[in-house]
Amino acid sequence: QLTIIFKSFQECVDQKVYQAEMDELPAAFVDGSKNGGDKHGANSLKITEKVSGQHIEIQAKYIGTTIVVRQVGRYLTFAVRMPEEVVNAVEDRDSQGLYLCLRGCPLNQQIDFQAVRSAQATEGRARRKGPSLPAPPEAFTYETATAKCREKLPVEDLYFQSCVFDLLTTGDVNFMLAAYYAFEDVKMLHSNKDKLHLYERTRVLTPGNSAPTGTHPTLWVALLCLCWLCLL
């Protein structure tokens, strides 16, 4: 389930709540409206359906924000473009909803992708030495996962590595599409087309900067059952 709350803003928009669940991606807010209500600036907040049941966009022009919500297979994904001034204006007590945007995944949700890959390779060698057992139909090796991900993601960046990791751990090809659409959303939303591809992610964040530094590569993974995003 994904819930997005737009708080009432001066004489511009009423408070609006958007809620989506698996197989239910509405093109309207919970109250049935498609804009910011009865106030003078109501049309500065509106929902547009791009693909029925699969892709909607919410434009909140009064705070310069765009949100893209998709259903990919059995999963919901979202991407947000928000001005830095709006992010920094959020008070500390309200910043929990923006934690992932500001600080990245918590340490206990970070997974060392190279360690996972090494463990899988070791397991594969042990299996070859032991009795021959049929593999599950959804099983991917590192080689077959990378080949599958290259079909949609030819550049071996963070989106590609995320795709490979998800195929190795779940066998669900919908994650390949999720990574592909995540990159497509970034191409649409990012203002600097020279910075579309992300490569290494690390466990250390520099003060006041959401972009991590260092040389220890990890893959940030978050499985979200319920996500609240609260906007000004």
Structure tokens, 121: 């390779």
Helices (H), 36-173: 84-89, 99-103, 113-129, 142-150, 158-170
**What is the pLDDT, as a whole number, of residue 128?**
54
**What is the pLDDT, as a whole number, of residue 178?**
92
**What is the pLDDT, as a whole number, of residue 220?**
33
> 178, 180, 148: which is closest to 164 by C-alpha?
148
**DSSP β-ladder status, 204-205 and 110-111:** unpaired
- How does 82-101 read in b/e, with b if 16+ C-beta sit within 10 Å? beeeebeebeeeeeebbebe
Average pLDDT, the chain: 77
DSSP annotation of 21 reads B
**What is the pLDDT, as a whole number, of residue 225?**
27
Structure tokens, 188: 């649409």
Q: Which residues of the chain have pLDDT under 70?
A: 90-104, 113, 116-117, 120-138, 200-232
**What is the pLDDT, as a whole number, of residue 85?**
81
Q: How many C-beta neighbours within 10 Å does residue 131 have?
A: 5
**What is the pLDDT, as a whole number, of residue 201?**
52
| Domains by residue range for the chain, with CATH | 2-108 (3.40.1000.10), 111-127+137-195 (no CATH)
Rounded-to-integer distance, Cα 135 and Cα 194, Å = 41
Q: What is the largest CA-CA distance in the chain?
A: 72
